[in-house]
Structure 1
Amino acid sequence: MKQIKLKEMIDLVLDLMCSFNLSESTIKSYRYSAFSSINSYAKKRGTLIYSKDITDDFLKIQKERLNNKKISKKYYRVLRKAVELLDEYYTTGTLVWRIRHKRSKIKVNEYFNFIILDFEKNIVSQLAPATVLYIKSNTLQFLEFIENNGHIDLKRITINEVHDFLLNISPKHHGSMDNVLFSVKKFFNYLNENKITDLNVETILYKASRPKRKVLPCFSHEEVQSILDQIDTSTAKGKRDYAIIYLASHTGLRSVDIINLKLTDIDWNKDEIRIVQKKTGRSLVLPLDINTEKAIYDYILLGRPDTDSPNVFIRSIAPYTKLSDRGSSYSIIKKYCKSAGISNHRFHALRRSMGTWMLEAGVPLPTISQVLGHHNQDSTKQYLSLNNLMLAECALNLNGIETQKEELL
């Protein structure tokens, strides 16, 4: 395998860790305590190059320090985790932030356990795994709430009890009650469809819902061009990164679908991409313009490592496998945004940018939804950022309307 400096490995892993939405204190703990200790140990051993022998020896010493009560169990676990992250990234080219999940403390009766398991089976094919876990957690809290109210099944629950549950849970969900409402709505849709209860909660969910939506950030045309201008396309890695960002900004594909793009997904004769979206499981066909094709072709022909991997985009160092689903795209966009002096480091903003640009060009919403692979147009609306110039054109002209100063105060 290709040798890589330990410090470079540490920086790569830290970049990926930032994409997992870890707290700033956690990142600092690993950067200045765990990884710095590993790097210092390697220097004492007279090497700057990463090797598993170095990390294994380091961990053995820390285990001895733990047994001699020179370090705490908590600190040892952080050091062990840091070693595991380095070894995993070097070996697989991917990084997964694994958490040892504790079993839920929520205990419900046997019937409710059956309901929650059947409900989970019902939604698991419709939603992303993290969304399923979130909905399951909220549903368990609801079942615990109504069981504490004296219910052993779902036949006699009332709209008032659903309302009381929402009031009870709301203090813990400042800014995320819409997600809780979505969970409750999904659960009651399941209950209604399976004739477990005929209670209609739509009205109360609508009343509880807040109408305002966040305006999510996107890039301007100039910002995307500035990002692309930072990339050194004379290198293999640069050709790959350029193709990824260009493809994202000109098709609106999600990062996970770009990372998982296969060579066989590209039809060069028809100038199009055909994929099954990982998030939704639905097929999507998108046209490729000549410049997007050129960027991908240039990488495949002149930058892509010689490998049997079916994926288009490959790690630039051995092992030559596909990029990690989440962390790689974040690391790529962050690097070039920083060079361009752009504070928005979110790869998903490229997707929102594509939707916003089409809106500005007068493309109808149904067409935008189709390009973004949305089954429901409501899903598309949150991707369309407001354009200040277009809003200015909507402002009323007050010329010719007489006003009095005191009325404007």
Structure 2
Amino acid sequence: MASHLQAYAQRLHDDGYATQSGQLQLRMLAHFSQWLERQRITAPAVTSSTLERYVRSRRKAGKLRRGDPAALSRLLGILRCSHTESPSAPLTATQVVLRQFQHYLRQERSLAEATITHYTPIVAAFLAECFPTGAPDLQQISASDIAGFVRHQAERITTKHASTVVTALRSFLRHLLDRGAIATNLAACVPTIATWKLSTVPKFLPAAQIQRILDACDRDTAVGKRNYTILLLLARLGLRAGEVVALTLDDVDWEAGLITVRGKGKRVAHMPVPVDVGAALTDYLRHARPACASRRVFIRAKAPLNGFANSIAICSLVDRALETAGVESACRGAHLFRHSLATQMLTQGASLPEIGDVLRHRHPDTTAIYAKVDLAALRSIALSWPGGNQ
């Protein structure tokens, strides 16, 4: 185990962990090594279940620290990269079904990883509801199982999320039919969630409140410089949270003044960088971005010094920025800035096609909803209320 601990120490150094934090992790892993010896478990035999047993023993002894499970997972990753690591524990029958579904979405449907990540837990929940006590017998899935699951889900989630549930379920059932796991097209039995185009009004913030949020960033700190730059990208270019996460150093063309944005559906767009965005980005990269091996533009403030894991981190950053600025909004998250940009462009006279170009909408119908927030135009065509002047 000694050689693996040396590799672990090197990884801590590469990921930017503080010396004290690294020492605490190595001390715990040294204890883990001793525990393995007492259990007569060699390094090649360590699996995820081994880590779970050790964590339970540490918790029972009252010695489990918050970061211990993550440290053990990193060690297991190092073991798996070595030639001495034994195979992982066999997958359960449900896990096999989910892996096959993921492979279908990835290889045959060419869906984005974010979509696969959304669909997988939905299908896992469906299988758990249909087969709560044992391995899934896919031939036993019935129309009533499908309707019951959709009904239970729709009772506790938003209409938009419910639409995602039925889409994921239809995709899964088509996959089962394609590979012969079921004999009938059960996808046709998935209920339709009633939705109406343009039935909602986009939530947005006035330009003054957007500026208030930007001004509240403490740009004297490294985290403040990073957050300010992220918020500017959301406010000026209308980027989605996942697009901000995915930005790399290679995506910025300083000579042309362009930034490459990798959007939904694997679409790529080259967008001009506004002056204030370019200045903020330059300030962050020169004075605040940690030195690390990652090519991501935006790096976590604490070790491991990698890019953000997913779009949730950006949405959480936005929520904290609203709280710091004292701005209240019924709608939260990064998309609030995207809606606000579109609304601001509309009030300044931009056409819906122009807004669609900036937001990189594939279909004009997606942009049409912003016509609802053009209050001046709506007032001009509104009829007078009968008797209203009496």
Task: State the TM bucket, normalised to the shorter chain.
Answer: 0.5 to 0.7
Q: Match of 1:209, SS?
A: coil
Distance 1:124 1:235, change over 3 A: same
| C-alpha distance in structure 2 between counterparts of 1:327 and 1:205, whole Å | 29
Distance 1:254 1:56, change over 3 A: same
Native 8 Å contact 1:333 1:346 kept in 2: yes
Residues 102-251 of structure 1 aligned to structure 2 (within 5 Å): 103=92, 118=104, 121-123=107-109, 125-126=111-112, 128=114, 129-134=116-121, 136-137=123-124, 147-148=139-140, 164=144, 166-173=146-153, 174=155, 175=157, 176-186=161-171, 208-211=193-196, 217-251=203-237
Residues 10-25 of structure 1 aligned to structure 2 (within 5 Å): none
Distance 1:135 1:352, change over 3 A: same
| C-alpha distance in structure 2 between counterparts of 1:385 and 1:75, whole Å | 57
| C-alpha distance in structure 1 between counterparts of 2:113 and 2:222, whole Å | 36
Which of 330, 339, 349 aligns to 2:336? It is 349
* Aligned residue number for residue 295 of structure 1: 280
| C-alpha distance in structure 2 between counterparts of 1:57 and 1:50, whole Å | 11
Q: Which amino acid aligns with 2:140?
A: N
| Deviation for aligned residue 1:227 | 0.8
Native 8 Å contact 2:126 2:149 kept in 1: no
Native 8 Å contact 1:116 1:139 kept in 2: no
| C-alpha distance in structure 1 between counterparts of 2:315 and 2:299, whole Å | 15
Native 8 Å contact 2:225 2:288 kept in 1: yes
Residues 24-43 of structure 1 aligned to structure 2 (within 5 Å): none
Distance 1:286 1:297, change over 3 A: same
| C-alpha distance in structure 2 between counterparts of 1:177 and 1:270, whole Å | 43
TM-score, length of structure 1 as denominator length = 0.58
* Aligned residue number for residue 385 of structure 2: 398
Native 8 Å contact 2:205 2:336 kept in 1: yes
Q: Match of 1:342, SS?
A: coil
* Aligned residue number for residue 83 of structure 1: 67
Which of 224, 236, 243 aligns to 1:257? It is 243
Q: Percent identity?
A: 22
Matched, 1:51 2:21: yes
Q: Match of 1:147, SS?
A: helix
| Deviation for aligned residue 1:238 | 2.4
Matched, 1:276 2:268: no
Q: Match of 1:314, SS?
A: coil
| Deviation for aligned residue 1:338 | 1.7
Which of 249, 271, 275 aligns to 1:286? It is 271
**Residue by residue, what CA displacement relative to the aligned partner does 1:165-191 show, whole Å, maximum 9, x if unpaired?**
553223311234322332344457779
| C-alpha distance in structure 1 between counterparts of 2:367 and 2:93, whole Å | 34
RMSD: 5.2
Q: Match of 1:286, SS?
A: strand
Which of 351, 373, 380 aligns to 1:387? It is 373
| C-alpha distance in structure 2 between counterparts of 1:78 and 1:284, whole Å | 52
| Deviation for aligned residue 1:328 | 4.3
Say which is worse superposed, 358-367 or 338-347, in terms of deviation: 358-367
| C-alpha distance in structure 2 between counterparts of 1:297 and 1:203, whole Å | 54
Distance 1:121 1:106, change over 3 A: same
Distance 1:167 1:314, change over 3 A: closer
| C-alpha distance in structure 1 between counterparts of 2:346 and 2:301, whole Å | 36
| Deviation for aligned residue 1:340 | 1.0
Q: Which amino acid aligns with 2:245?
A: I
Native 8 Å contact 2:139 2:183 kept in 1: no
TM-score, length of structure 2 as denominator length = 0.61
Q: Which amino acid aligns with 1:348?
A: H
Native 8 Å contact 1:248 1:351 kept in 2: yes
| Deviation for aligned residue 1:229 | 0.9
Give ranges in structure 1 of 5+ residues lacking alignment: 1-48, 65-70, 92-99, 150-160, 404-409
**Residue by residue, what CA displacement relative to the aligned partner does 1:338-382 show, whole Å, maximum 9, x if unpaired?**
221124552332223223333444544444344334434555567
| C-alpha distance in structure 1 between counterparts of 2:285 and 2:338, whole Å | 23
| C-alpha distance in structure 2 between counterparts of 1:329 and 1:342, whole Å | 17
Distance 1:331 1:307, change over 3 A: same
* Aligned residue number for residue 38 of structure 1: none
* Aligned residue number for residue 322 of structure 1: 307
Distance 1:305 1:333, change over 3 A: same
